[in-house]
Chains A and B, each alone.
Chain A
Amino acid sequence: MSLGEEHLPPGPRPSAPGPTFADVNRDVIRTLGTAGNLYFAWMSVVALLLALGILAWTEQIYYGIGMGGHRAPQQWATYIVNFVFWIGIGHAGTLISAILYLFRAKWRTSIYRGAEAMTVFAVLTAGLFPVIHIGRMWLPYWLIPYPSERFLWPAFRSPLLWDVFAISTYLTISVVFFIVGLIPDIAAVRDGTTGWRRRVYAVLAVGWQGTDRQWRHYRRAYGLFAALATPLVLSVHSVVSWDFAMALLPGWHSTLFAPFFVDGAIFSGFAMVLVLLLPMRYYFNLYPYITERQLDMMARLILTTSLVLTYFYTCEGFVSWYSGEPAERASYLFKWVGVYAPWWWLQIFCNSVVPLVFFWRRARIHVPTLYVVSLLVLVGMWLERFNIIVPGLGHGFYPWAFGVYLPSVTEVAILVGSFAWFFILFLAFIRVLPSVSIVEVKETIPHPVRAGHAQHG
């Protein structure tokens, strides 16, 4: 039933002797202990980079939005690229926690918590960029429909407003889904710790005891959350893509954009999941839980989404030729041979060529290969967003309105700061909350039975 469950490749399985129920609790609660020097070293580096980003933003607030290098025709540039990129990163988390849940893909249980946390933090990062981009960052409440004395309401026909609704719904539902999944696990942590930690986790566990009444409603609610999150995640990046597709600009005005954006989002998100989980697996020694099987399945999904993306790239070229529209053709040709051509071809290399290595099983379970490919995919996907937005705006209908943009120092510092913000949240998360789901991992390992033979749940 589950994705790829039937075509298991040869190799080590999640359970040779396998962890028992008590092992799961011990191994996960162990990750919450006192942190080592390495952790604080990482935290310091990330905090420094975050400080750099905050400094750059402060500078922009003080001197004005001109500190960002965007000017006509590229009024949208790096900040919007970052926004689209970070929203996309979040999508893989929801895919793992909701869609694969509905597919009953058992391999997802040990990685879904990390992926879900990644979603929440990625959306929190993405949400900063519209605020940074509008310049007057104290006025974003204008986007919210509220009764004012002038009876002014937002323009609901604007895709930018759809975005406000889509992103805030996505953030809310992701946070709810994340927290609900955490409640029984926090209860397990509460029961496995002592002292002040125990008291803190007891409050967070809201009195969860795992009674049949609690589980009965929990299971039903969890399934419904997954059912609600599935159409939501597909809608969010579609709505983001309509920010562009609803405009008449050549290269943007395309019905292809919604699935194209959603696929790219999932593709980049899986790469980010690997970037986060591979070091986590190493430092927390989570090898019994995040096994080669998980890596293999993740790599397969990266390969699949990469192939779909290549198909969309091909379609993009075909459609702009087939349209017979000179401006459309010129805009597309500009990407191939214009000022931004090196970045375009680097994007094609990272997104369409590099992931092909995952056709080989050896590469799918080889940690350094996985890591390098994931990093290249992230680079490629950031460039893809850049190559849609910047050359698109720079090569519209009128030659006198063509233009070339390059990011300013402020923009680059804020981009670096956004990565630092994301990583600082994730680093904090893995030390205070169970980063592997205690409950869901137990669902996939043999349950203790008296009869003496193991039984799969």
Chain B
Amino acid sequence: MAEAAPTGVLGVFAHVDTTIQAIRELRARGFKGVTAYTPLPLPEVEEALTGHGLPKSPVRLFTLVGALTGTASGFALTIWSSLKWNLVVGGKPVVSIPPFVVIAFELTILLGGLCTLLALFVLGRLPRLHGSPRYDPRFTADRFGVEVFCPPDQLRTAEEILRRAGAEEVRA
């Protein structure tokens, strides 16, 4: 994430459309390290960034693996432990699949959910002890931020783009 040059610049925006415009322009001018701060999830902002090759979130892979592990372990636990205590009750087969489906189903959801949580923390880099020092508390209220990481010689250009897009405030 942090490249050779840790320099950057932050633009604070009051509007959604100006924020998106700034991101689009930065990406068009070849800036790679652009981070957006928004008080709510905005598909448009994501689109402006993913339009330039950011991959789709792989959270669902975690969920799938977790859910399948849950199904497998649900059946494994019930079948294995029934065979371990091989007692016929009420004339039913020792390995009776229909009731075991309930256990397997619940474990599918349980492990699927827990792996989704894991994915959120791993992929979202949480918990984060040291966030960006340029972070502004207003970004959880009513302001939007665009942070650009770039080599020092491009800082002026980035600042220029942010200002032109309509940033209220631009700071290093």
Residues of A near any B CB (own CB < 8 A)? 20-22, 25, 145, 151-157, 161-162, 165-166, 168-169, 172-173, 176-177, 180, 183-184, 187-188, 190-192, 206-221, 224-225, 228-229, 231-232, 235, 239, 438-440, 442-443, 447-451, 455, 457
Contacts and interface: CB of A to CB of B under 8 A. Distances in A.
B150 interface: no
- The main secondary structure of chain B at its interface with chain A is helix
Interface in B124-169: 124-132, 135, 137-142, 166
B102 A165 contact: yes
B128 A207 contact: yes
Interface in B46-83: 46, 49-50, 54, 57, 59-60, 63, 67, 77-78, 81-82
A450 B15 contact: yes
- The main secondary structure of chain A at its interface with chain B is helix
Given A153-B85, A209-B135, A225 B113 contact: yes
Given A153-B81, A157-B89, A190-B137, 6 more contacts: A154-B81, A191-B139, A221-B59, A231-B105, A232-B106, A457-B42
Nearest to A207: B128
Given A218-B41, A220-B59, A448-B142, A207 B129 contact: yes
A289 B9 CA distance: 37
Among A151, A177, A212: residue with most chain B CB under 10 A: A212
Contacts of B35: 211-213
Given A21-B141, A176-B113, A216 B40 contact: no
B14 interface: yes
Contacts of B17: 449-451, 455
A209 B124 contact: no
B109 A228 contact: yes
B120 interface: yes
A2 to B, nearest CB: 17
B172 interface: no
Interface of B: 14-18, 35-43, 45-46, 49-50, 54, 57, 59-60, 63, 67, 77-78, 81-82, 84-85, 89, 92, 96, 99-100, 102-103, 105-107, 109-110, 112-114, 116-117, 119-121, 123-132, 135, 137-142, 166
Contact of B138 (A20, A145, A153, A191): A191
Nearest to A443: B40
A232 B109 contact: yes
Contacts of A173: 109-110, 113
Contacts of A172: 110, 113-114
9 contacts: A191-B141, A192-B137, A209-B132, A221-B116, A221-B119, A224-B59, A450-B17, A450-B166, A457-B42
Contacts, number: 200
Contacts of A21: 39, 141-142
Contacts of B142: 20-22, 25, 448
A136 B18 CA distance: 65
Nearest to B18: A450
B59 A22 contact: no
A218 B39 CA distance: 13
Given A217-B59, A228-B113, A235 B39 contact: no
A209 B128 contact: yes
A449 B113 contact: no
Contacts of B78: 156
Contact of A145 (B50, B81, B114): B81
A153 B82 contact: yes
Contacts of A207: 126-131
B113 A210 contact: no
B117 A180 contact: yes
A207 B121 CA distance: 11
B102 A239 contact: yes
Contacts of A235: 102, 105-106, 109
